[in-house]
Structure 1
Amino acid sequence: MTTKIMILNGPNLNFLGIREPHIYGSTTLKEIEVSCEALAKYLGIEISFHQSNLEGELVNWIQSAHGTADAIIMNPAAYSFTSIALIDALKIFEGPKIEVHISNIHARDELHRHSITSSASTAVICGLGPYGYLAAMLAVVQRLGKLPDTVPASLHGLKA
C-alpha cells in the first residue's frame, strides 16, 4: 500500500515569492509543490498539496485526511497563532502531523513566536526555508517505518 501524505498550506502562502521576500525568500508555493512532488516520486509515496486562506477549508481537509492519508504536513501560517479549530481537527487525526514554518518563528516578532497549533503536532520544523517541507516529508516517511532511525553502518565510512 502506498504511503499518502496530505500537505496543507494556510493563508497568504499563495503569495510566497512576492510577500516579504526578506523573511520568506523568493521561492513560490508552486515551486515548493513541484519539489515535494519530485521527492514523493523518488520516495515512492503519494502527496496531495493544498492551500487555502479559509480556516474552515483547512479544517475540512484535515478531517478528510482521516482514513485517507497516513500523515499530514501543515504550514498553518497565521492560523498557527490563532486557530483552536485547527488544533481540534489535528487532534482527531491519528497519524504523524508535522508543522512547517519557512521562517524561524522563534526569532520573529512577538506576534509570530508562539504557535498554538504546535500543541497538536508530532513535530515542528521551522527556519529551513522551503527545504522544511522536504525535511518534513522525510521525517514522516521515517516515522511511518519506511526509513531507518539512523544512518546504516555501511555508510559510516563514506566521504563526501
Structure 2
Amino acid sequence: MKKILIMNGPNLNMLGIREPGVYGSMSLGDMNDFIQAQAKEQAYNVELEFFQSNHEGVMIDKLHECYGRKDGIVLNAGAYTHYSYAIRDAISSIGIPCVEVHLSDIHAREGFRHVSVIQEVCLAQICGMGVKGYIEALKILLEEEK
C-alpha cells in the first residue's frame, strides 16, 4: 500500500470562507473527505495522510518527516508556491515524488501568481481543476510508482 501525504499550505484552512468564487465553497475538511472517498471509490491501494499549516517552517519539517516514510506528496503550497525557495529545497532534498496542485488557475490570475518556484522539483503542476486536481495528482503519483 502506497503512503501519500496531502499537504495544504497557508490560508487553505479558510476554504469555503475565503473567496468562494475563486476557491469554491467546500471546506478543507469536506475537501479531504472527498479526496478520501474518491481514493476508496477508485480502489486505489493508498493510505492518505492530510496535513495543513500556515507556517513555512512547519511545512518544511513535515516534508522532512516524509523521508523514508511516504511514497508521494500532493502539495498545494498556497502563496509559498511563488517565493519559498526553502520549501523548494525541502522537496528536492527528500527525493520523494511530489505533484504541485492549485485549486484555481494560477496562470490566469494576478501576475505574481504565474511563477512557481517549486514547479521544477515536482513531477507535475495541476491548476484550475478545483478539488479534482488532487485526484489527478494522486493518479500521477500512483502511475509514477508502478
TM-score by length of 2: 0.95
More displaced 10-residue stretch of structure 1: 92-101 or 54-63: 92-101
1:26 aligned residue = 25
CA distances 1:23-50 after superposition (whole Å, capped 9, x unpaired): 1111111111112222333312101100
Deviation at 1:93, TM superposition (A): 2.2
In the alignment, the residues of structure 1 paired with residue 119 and residue 102 of structure 2 have an alpha-carbon distance, to the nearest angstrom, of: 11
More displaced 10-residue stretch of structure 1: 111-120 or 84-93: 111-120
1:154 aligned residue = none
In the alignment, the residues of structure 1 paired with residue 17 and residue 38 of structure 2 have an alpha-carbon distance, to the nearest angstrom, of: 25
Higher relative contact order (CA 8 A, sep 6+): 2
1:57 aligned residue = 58
Q: Secondary structure at the match of 1:125?
A: strand
TM alignment of 1:4-153, pairs within 5 A: 4-41=3-40, 42-145=43-146
In the alignment, the residues of structure 1 paired with residue 84 and residue 96 of structure 2 have an alpha-carbon distance, to the nearest angstrom, of: 20
Q: Secondary structure at the match of 2:26?
A: coil
Letter in 2 for 1:6: L
Structure 2 unaligned blocks of 5 or more: none
In the alignment, the residues of structure 1 paired with residue 99 and residue 67 of structure 2 have an alpha-carbon distance, to the nearest angstrom, of: 15
Deviation at 1:92, TM superposition (A): 1.3
Letter in 2 for 1:51: Q
More displaced 10-residue stretch of structure 1: 118-127 or 59-68: 118-127
- RMSD over aligned CA atoms reads 1.0
Q: Secondary structure at the match of 2:73?
A: strand
List, as ranges, runs of 4+ consecutive aligned residues in structure 1 with deviation greater than 3 Å. none
Q: Percent identity?
A: 40
Q: Secondary structure at the match of 1:43?
A: coil
In the alignment, the residues of structure 2 paired with residue 113 and residue 103 of structure 1 have an alpha-carbon distance, to the nearest angstrom, of: 11
